Structure 1
Amino acid sequence: MSGERWSRPANASRWEAPAFGGAARFRVGATALLFAVAAAGNLALAASLRRRPPSRLRPLVAGLAAADLMMTFVAMPSDAVWNVTVQWYGGDALCRLLSFLKLLAMQASASVLTLIGLDRRRAVVRPLSARRGNRGALALAWSLSLLLAAPQLFVFGTVNAGLQADGGDGGDFIQCATHGAFGAPWQATLYNMFYLGTLYAIPLLVISCSYGHIVLHIKKAHARNKGGLRRSGADGVSRARMKTLKMTVLIVLSFVVCWTPYYLLGVWYWFRPEVVGFTPEYVHHGLFLFGNLNSCCDPLIYGFYTPSFRAELAGCRRRLRLRRRPPEKEREDETESGQRARRPVVG
């Protein structure tokens, strides 16, 4: 959104350019680790979904994996490089483009999670209703995400932070920020609050209502079945559908747990900007990393509830081990297997 990487602390007598300190080094190292896990998991998930039979949930999970991959290959590397260089050396066009793509990935992830909640509600509450595919709804969600992320192309840009500080004697220090894009502080706050609603508050409200309706439906079914014969599954919900429901609940919970601290701190900053000066630097870095952890959780949760996905990953690991083995070792194994095959069977 419109955070300032180079904000001047309220209690500072002179503006000082940020440096590549210990907290930033930790952030770069942790980002590299998260990148490796998220890239491997989401690429494997995308490949697995191509081989799975068609279902209502498959395009939604594919859309979520696409958003996670965009976050992985756009936001994480650019953030790591930016922390190493400290200044922004990518130019104005790249500044605007990366700001747009990062918000697009976040908007798409929130929109797809909302669709998943609505889809699970319909699958449980109205399982016999006329079913339509989710591809149209998914295309609409991505289109809406593109529209909502477009203002980033105009709000962000390169700014000489050194000349903006201390009456212009801070030297040259180029950053990618929103400084000067708003005529008054309340406009920046309104802009950020709008995106807080579209990225977090509104999706969380819709998802909570959807799963709340599912819980009420299951309770009512349980009450109806209490005095008579129980149908297969949990209170009228098939075992397969209940398993999918549990998986999607965990995916939504990972989104809420990973991003809630980041957004709460953002709200605090927007209304009390002076806290930037006395909040430890590692808190800024840690909460952003915790939000990026969400891109790693989605494929892990999907794999936990999908045995075929775990089997495919195990097969990939076996093939990788075979490729890494030296030719001499393979010939020894072939010789040993041949000798065992020719050995007579006794008894």
Structure 2
Amino acid sequence: MPSWTIGHPSVVADGLNASAATVADSFAMAIANDSDNAATFDMLFSDYVQLASYSIFLAVGLPVNIATLIYMLRRYGHAKSMLLLLHINLNISDIFVLVFFCGGWIGWLSTYEWNGGYALCIVMRYLDVFVFALSSNVMVCIALYRLYALRCPVMVNTVGRQRVPKMLLLAWALAAIVALPQLYVWREIEYFGMTQCVSIWTELYLHNTTETVHDTTRKLYNAVHLVVIFWLPLLILSVCYVLIIRDVYKTLNASSDTSSVVYVTETTKVSVRSRSRSRSTRGQRWSSMKQRTGRQDPAVIAPLFHALSGQERLKQAKIRSLRITLVLITAYALTWLPYNVIAWWNIVNIDSYRLIEDATYFLHCFVVLNSVINPFIYGRCAGTKMLCCQPQQRHHPRKQKKMAHFCGS
């Protein structure tokens, strides 16, 4: 008996890569194979994999994300950091993904029937699109902010406080607008005594309405959502991070004789110590300054070392930004890209896609995995430190220091 896949919670019309015709076809075949018109449905191995994965994601990712959110809210109460505000919004979107998307999948895979009613059917499908669109939009905001912080470090504090709230407001508004068509697309129907939350294309298919125009609108709807939710944000992220990497590369290769820069940044906390200069070099610089000024007062020498340390902080901060941005783009691409590539296969050639349909559903899990690992990237282990490290800090200060260094504090 084929697995019944109607009504899967999704990011596009009938799943990130599951079309209305495909899932309805599986449902119709299951009904046809049952002589009493009371079809029974057996879970496939991929269904068990998804159910187990989403349960683990929810059990592990939700506490870590909530702990990270509490930690960042406390920090934001003491210092109004714009980057921290961006991380808070991304963290909220990750919590939404785990609660609404994972929760919806777990509920549906456990029963294979929709029991939430018409209103909840529409609301949940709206949230499916909204949470992922919001996550992508906030990531774009973070990329743009990091790029601006590297190129205009002196102005990032003043300008950032004006632009970041506006960017976040726009990110939430665009996500809400993109999800609006879901209010029209989804329906609650009863078919052979079973209630399901399905799209209008599935409903048409079940009523034997398979005109070409309906299939074209389904493909167009799915394609637009794929572009808006993933491919366009990925393009913007890629451009931003290429520019960031180029700027960092130029900084690393800049001459050590260039003038110092007063670097003000919220992105990292960098040690003031400079290990690249030997004691002999410092001694020579001290002697040279002594000959020019005729004074030995450290107050005369301090501005020189302060300027040099400022330049070192600039380089170290950009190095750290390079490492973080590489992790950001890699995690986002690796977790989202496979599923969205398969989604295009479903749009372009649905017949060949049906042959591997059941084997590709597990790719849903990788998209959600991004929301689980995000706290370890954006929050720099803040959630795990709150859950695990704080009880040990009173008794093991050395371990606390090592963990803080590992987590990027």
Query: How many angstroms apart in 2 are the aligned matches of 1:13 and 1:78?
Result: 23
- Work out whether residues 8 and 277 of structure 1, in 8 Å CA contact, stay in contact via their aligned partners in 2: no
Contact 2:345 2:353 in 1 (8 A): no
**Aligned residues with identical type, % of pairs:** 23
TM-score, normalised with respect to structure 1: 0.79
Distance 1:186 1:317 in 2: 58
- CA drift of 1:267 comes to 0.8
* Letter matched to residue 296 of structure 1: V
Give the Å deviation of 1:238: 4.2
- Paired residue secondary structure (2:160): coil
Q: 1:271 to 1:309 in 2, by over 3 A?
A: closer
| Partner Cα distance (1:316, 1:91) in 2 | 44
Amino acid at match of 1:132: G
| Shift, 1:226, TM fit | 6.2
Are 2:242 and 1:212 equivalent residues in the alignment?
A: yes
Measured in 2, the distance between the counterparts of 1:235 and 1:193 equals 47
Q: Please give the per-residue CA displacement for 1:250-270, whole angstroms capped at 9, x wherever unaligned.
A: 233212111111111111111
1:96 aligns with 2:113: no
1:94 deviates by 0.9
For residues 185 and 228 of structure 2, what CA distance do their matches in structure 1 show?
A: 17
Of 242, 261, 271, 2:348 maps to 271
* 2:130–2:179 contact (8 Å) kept in structure 1: yes
Among residues 365, 369, 374, which one is paired with 1:298 in the alignment? 374
Q: Alpha-carbon deviation of 1:15?
A: 4.7
Query: Partners in 1 of 2:167 and 2:357 — Cα distance?
Result: 42
Alpha-carbon distance, 1:275 to partner = 3.1
| Aligned pair partner of 1:190 in 203, 207, 220 | 220
- 1:184 is paired with a residue whose SS is helix
2-structure distance, mates of 1:158, 1:315: 47
> In the TM superposition, what whole-angstrom CA distance separates every residue of 1:202-229 from its partner, at most 9, and x where no partner exists?
1111111111111222233344426768
Residue of structure 2 equivalent to 1:61: 87
Partner of 2:140: 114
Residue 87 of structure 1 corresponds to which residue in structure 2?
A: 113
Q: 1:123 aligns with which of 139, 142, 149?
A: 149
Distance 1:318-1:78 versus aligned 2 partners, 3 A rule: farther
Give secondary structure in 2 for the equivalent of 1:32: helix
**Cα deviation code 1:10-39 (max 9, x no counterpart):** 9x6975665334332232122111111110
Aligned-residue CA RMSD (Å): 3.0
Q: 1:37 to 1:159 in 2, by over 3 A?
A: same
User: What CA distance in whole angstroms lies between the structure 2 residues aligned with 1:76 and 1:13?
Assistant: 26
Distance 1:15 1:108, change over 3 A: farther
Cα pair 1:233 1:239 within 8 Å, conserved:
no
**Counterpart in 2 of 1:250?**
327
Please report how far the alpha carbon of residue 102 of structure 1 lies from its aligned counterpart in structure 2 after TM superposition.
Answer: 1.5
User: C-alpha distance in 1, partners of 2:135/2:233?
Assistant: 10
Letter in 1 for 2:195: I
Q: Is the 8 A contact 1:159 1:179 kept in 2?
A: no
Equivalent position to 2:196, from 175, 178, 190: 175
For the 8 Å contact 1:96–1:152, the answer to whether it is kept is yes
Question: Which residue in the other structure is 1:259 paired with?
Answer: 336
Correspondence for 1:132: 160
In the alignment, is residue 146 of structure 1 matched against residue 157 of structure 2? no
Aligned length: 307
> What is the DSSP-based 3-state SS (H/G/I as helix, E as strand, rest coil) of the residue aligned with 1:176?
strand
Quick one: distance in 2 between partners of 1:214 and 1:174?
A: 51
Partner of 2:289: none
Unaligned runs of 5+ in 2: 1-11, 15-19, 34-38, 205-212, 261-307, 394-409
**Contact 2:57–2:369 at 8 Å: present in 1 too?**
yes
Change (3 A) 1:99 1:280: closer
Alignment CA distance shift 1:99-1:316 (3 Å):
farther
Quick check: 2:64–2:384 contact (8 Å CA) kept in 1? no
What is the CA–CA distance in structure 2 between the aligned matches of 1:128 and 1:37, rounded to whole Å? 39
Residues 34-59 of structure 1, C-alpha deviation per residue, up to 9 Å, x if partnerless? 11111011101100101213212101
- The one-letter amino acid of 1:288's match is H
The one-letter code of the counterpart of 1:2 is A
Find the aligned partners of 2:83 and 2:352 in 1 and give their Cα distance. 43
Structure 1, unpaired ranges of 5+? 163-170, 320-347
Residue 23 of structure 1 corresponds to 46
SS in structure 2 opposite 1:291? helix
* Cα shift at 1:175: 2.2
TM superposition shift of 1:71: 0.7
Instruction: Decide whether aligned partners of structure 1 residues 119 and 9 sit closer, same or farther in structure 2, where only a CA change above 3 A counts.
Output: same
Cα distance 1:90–1:61, how it changes in 2: closer, same or farther (>3 A)? same
Aligned position for 1:48:
71
Which region of structure 1 is more displaced relative to structure 2, 232-241 or 251-260? 232-241
Whole-angstrom CA distance in 2 between matches of 1:264 and 1:144? 23
